[in-house]
Amino acid sequence: MVDSTRGNGDTADDEGTARMRGEAGSAGGSAGGSALGRRALFGGAVAAGLTAAAGPAAAQSRGEGSRPAGRFAGKTVLITGATSGIGEATAKAFAAEGARVGFCGRRVREGRRVEREIREAGGEATYTRADVREPGQVRRFVDGVAERYGGLDIAFNNAGINWFRPLHETSLAEWEDMHGTNLRGVFLAMKYEIPHLLERGGGAIVITGSMHQLATRPGGSAYASTKRAVLALAQAAAMDYGESGIRVNVLSPGAVDTRLFRQARPPMSDEEYEEFKREWGRENVPGLHRVADPEDMATAALGLASGDFGYLTGASLVVDGGLTSSL
């Protein structure tokens, strides 16, 4: 069971200033980052553009007008919740394909690490500490990204928490925290992103949903209700803004190997976790028989945001390895 009050802040590091631009590489970064982060940065074809663009020439000439070539060259992408997991992998994938990425999360140390890793590989990213439950912080984050990079083209509203508890054992504060993060947080982000997208003459919004929007498990009342609600939110927004050239879609992952997935299990060693994950995938994912990597979701998020999916709006793309296909 994931407790949303756990693991949310490296408090000693969290009192940092709102914008951490320029502090990349400072001693505050977590040593070496996560294995996940390294995999996200250097693994897979999507990173090829980024690693190829790294090196002295790219570093020396980094700045406006010298972005790595790619599908998203010249585009500005905003991501909520990219200090780990799916958001981190997606931030790195967008940067690898030429985008300028502005992202948030509450853990300053992790935000700095992700920012530094993207820049060291030749990409452009700016971390801002912002809590999606707080309207003022969301507004400052969104407007700050647009101001810094001269507008906004794509938003990936991904920040989320997850725990499972029987309904009558769920406190009102827990319910409101879940809904404040996973639903109200998405509403707030979109409320402040959309004026920038309208100003741009169009764009794409991708929201992270979940397979729990289709069906859920015991204890899922709080989580599943937020994830089903973001689909309704996306459908309504798709109609509000279709004529203005803004597409709004939901990426609905199955089980993904992230902090969120791991924290929902009893504590175990890394070795035990790897074995558990393999076994869990074999038993619970009837199609591909494995738990997804965050990069699998990044690939889907980039696809949804790209012109390749130019006719898709108000839709949910379930990327679950076949998990919800079985009876």
Ligand X SMILES: NC(=O)c1ccc[n+]([C@@H]2O[C@H](COP(=O)([O-])OP(=O)(O)OC[C@H]3O[C@@H](n4cnc5c(N)ncnc54)[C@H](OP(=O)(O)O)[C@@H]3O)[C@@H](O)[C@H]2O)c1
Residues that bind ligand X (CB under 6 A): 8, 80-87, 104-107, 110, 131-133, 158-162, 181, 208, 210, 253, 255-256, 258-261
Q: Is 172 exposed, middle or buried (0-12, 13-18, 19+ CB in 10 A)?
A: exposed
d(CA 170, CA 59): 50
By annotation, the residues acting in catalysis are 223
Nearest distance from C-beta of residue 21 to ligand X, angstroms = 17
225: nearest Cα among 181, 255, 270? 181
| Short-list 10, 2, 4, 6, CA closest to 173 | 4
> Contact, 113 vs 130, CB < 8 A?
no
Q: Select 126 or 258, whichever has its Cβ closest to ligand X.
A: 258
Measured from the CB of residue 83, what is the shortest distance to ligand X in angstroms? 4
The CA-atom distances, in angstroms, between 324 and each of 83, 229, 253 are 28, 19, 10
**Tokens (6 digits) for 213:** 């929007």
Contact between residue 304 and residue 206 where contact means Cβ atoms under 8 Å apart: yes
Beta bridge partners of 156: 79, 206
**How distant is the alpha carbon of residue 102 from its chain centre?**
11
Distance separating alpha carbons of residues 215 and 136, to the nearest angstrom:
34
Closer CB to ligand X, 49 or 220, in the complex: 220
76 or 208: CB nearest ligand X: 208
Q: Which is nearer to ligand X, 58 or 101 (CB)?
A: 101
Cα 3 to Cα 1: distance, rounded to the nearest angstrom: 6
| Nearest approach, Cβ of residue 142 and ligand X (Å) | 12
Q: With respect to ligand X, which residue has the nearer C-beta, 47 or 186?
A: 186
- The residue (of 53 and 183) whose beta carbon lies closer to ligand X is 183
Q: How far is the CB of 264 from ligand X (least distance, A)?
A: 8
Question: CB 222 → ligand X: shortest distance, Å?
Answer: 12
Q: Least distance from C-beta 36 to ligand X, angstroms? A: 8
Beta strand 246-253 pairing with 203-208: parallel
Angle between helices 185-200 and 221-241 (to 10 degrees): 20
Distance CA 229, CA 161 (A): 15
Nearest approach, Cβ of 2 to ligand X (angstroms)?
A: 8
Task: Closer to ligand X by CB, 54 or 211: give it.
Answer: 211
Hey, what's the torsion of the CAs at 273, 42, 80, 203, to 10 degrees? Answer: -140
Q: Compute, in degrees rounded to 10, the torsion defined by CA atoms 1, 289, 95, 107.
A: 10
